[in-house]
Amino acid sequence: MQTASDHSQLESEAFCPHYHKAVELIGRRWTGAILRALLSGVDRFSDLTETVPGLSDRMLSERLEELEAEGIVHRNVKPEIPVRIEYQLTARGYALGAVIQAVSQWAEEWLAQAPGHSHHPTATSPSSDH
Amino acid sequence: MQTASDHSQLESEAFCPHYHKAVELIGRRWTGAILRALLSGVDRFSDLTETVPGLSDRMLSERLEELEAEGIVHRNVKPEIPVRIEYQLTARGYALGAVIQAVSQWAEEWLAQAPGHSHHPTATSPSSDH
């Protein structure tokens, strides 16, 4: 049984526009995979398309531009011959490491199981070290 | 300077199909917001559409069906009059709390700032309690 004010408080915690923007940005098609690759140190355009299966040059360009516009990726043009372009995470982008890590852990624990094994034995799982 | 084997090792860490599936599932349009609402205890269809601005009945149905198919949400039909339907997170869904939390923290720290303030003062930020 909820009062009207409980209810509106619940809703204000339940929705946050910054969270909403963040989760949809990170989860946009290919963006999550690109961020993980950048965090792992892959920094050149061709290495990024090689790393992420199915990622086309066009989609990678589009996603990198979006991430630049959001201040998450910095495009670094090195004046070598031929010109070398590197994509690096900004401080804001690097801070996404905690998110990538949390998603990776969840995926490892809940998706990397035998197929059909949808009920995870939480109570008996050996959550020993780390 | 990387050897060929360094390079392929880097790429295998840089891409993980389970991670990729997870991040795109969570980031699908509206899904992140729905998960946060469910985690906050909003459990009825009409309360979910009220909580998330812009979320239509049709989109919510679609997303809830996807989340049920992934074993993340359980649809609980209570035999009352009128029938009451609740949507609850499974153990797998509840485990996404760590991801939602990490995204929320990042959004709070990096998106909830004054506009144009894209360079976060990492070195001087007061990361005191909590």
Q: Which of B15, B98, B104 sits opposite A16 (nearest CB)?
A: B104
Spatial separation of the C-alpha atoms in residues B83 and B90, rounded to whole Å: 21
- Confirm whether B67 is domain-assigned: yes
pLDDT at residue B4, as a whole number? 47
Task: Transcribe B33-99 into DSSP letters.
Answer: HHHHHHHTT--SHHHHHHHSTT--HHHHHHHHHHHHHTTSEEEEEE--SS-EEEEEE-HHHHTTHHH
φ/ψ of A21, rounded to 5, equals -60, -45
Asked if A71 lies within 8 A of B118 by C-beta distance, the reply is: yes
- Confirm whether B72 is domain-assigned: yes
Assess contact for A29 and A59: CB atoms under 8 A: yes
- Confirm whether A4 is domain-assigned: no
For A21-65, how does the pLDDT look when each residue is reduced to its tens digit (9 = 90+)?
999 999 999 999 999 999 999 999 999 999 999 999 999 999 999
Asked if A36 lies within 8 A of B18 by C-beta distance, the reply is: no
**Which chain A residue has its CA at the smallest distance from B21's CA?**
A107
- Confirm whether B9 is domain-assigned: no
Asked if B36 lies within 8 A of A42 by C-beta distance, the reply is: no
Residues of the domain holding B99: 14-117
Residue partners of B79: CB distance under 8 A and separation at least 6 = none
- Confirm whether B71 is domain-assigned: yes
DSSP secondary structure code for residue A124 in this structure: G
pLDDT at residue B13, as a whole number? 80
CATH number, domain with residue B47: 1.10.10.10
- Confirm whether A126 is domain-assigned: no
Neighbouring CB atoms inside 10 A of A115's CB total 5
Spatial separation of the C-alpha atoms in residues B37 and B54, rounded to whole Å: 14
For B71-119, how does the pLDDT look when each residue is reduced to its tens digit (9 = 90+)?
999 999 999 888 899 999 999 999 999 999 999 999 999 998 755 554 4
* N-terminal to C-terminal alpha carbon distance within chain A: 41
pLDDT band at A5 (very low <50, low <70, confident <90, very high): very low
Residues of B whose CB is below 8 A from A20: 32-33, 52
Spatial separation of the C-alpha atoms in residues B24 and A106, rounded to whole Å: 13
Q: Which of B14, B71, B109 sits opposite A95 (nearest CB)?
A: B109
B57 vs A: CB within 8 A: no
For A107-119, how does the pLDDT look when each residue is reduced to its tens digit (9 = 90+)?
999 998 755 554 4
Spatial separation of the C-alpha atoms in residues B56 and A29, rounded to whole Å: 22
For B43-70, how does the pLDDT look when each residue is reduced to its tens digit (9 = 90+)?
999 999 999 999 999 999 999 999 999 9
**B6-33 mean pLDDT:** 83
Tell which of B110, B118, B119 to mutate to test the A interface (max A CBs under 10 Å).
B110
Residue partners of B102: CB distance under 8 A and separation at least 6 = A98, A99, A101, A102
pTM of the model: 0.81
Residues of A whose CB is below 8 A from B103: 19, 22-23, 26, 99
Give me the count of residues in chain A: 130
- Confirm whether B34 is domain-assigned: yes
Tell which of A6, A20, A44 to mutate to test the B interface (max B CBs under 10 Å).
A20
Whether the per-residue pLDDT at B125 is higher than 60: the answer is no
C-alpha angle B55/B56/B61, rounded to 5°? 100
User: Which amino acid does the sequence have at A53?
Assistant: P
Whether the per-residue pLDDT at B2 is higher than 80: the answer is no
Number of domains within chain B: 1
- C-alpha distances (whole Å) from B25 to each of A75, B18, B31, B67, B93 are 28, 11, 8, 9, 12
Give me the count of residues in chain B: 130
> Nearest to residue B40, comparing CAs of A6, A110, A99?
A6
φ/ψ of B41, rounded to 5, equals 100, 0
**Nearest CA to CA, how far is B12 from chain A (Å)?**
8
Asked if A33 lies within 8 A of B15 by C-beta distance, the reply is: yes
Residue A71 parent element (H or E): none
Of A82-86, A87-91, B97-101, the range with the lowest mean pLDDT is: A82-86
**Nearest CA to CA, how far is A79 from chain B (Å)?**
18
Which B-chain residues 64-123 have CB contacts (< 8 A) with chain A? 71, 90-92, 95-96, 98-112, 118-120, 122
Whether the per-residue pLDDT at A85 is higher than 70: the answer is yes
- Confirm whether B7 is domain-assigned: no
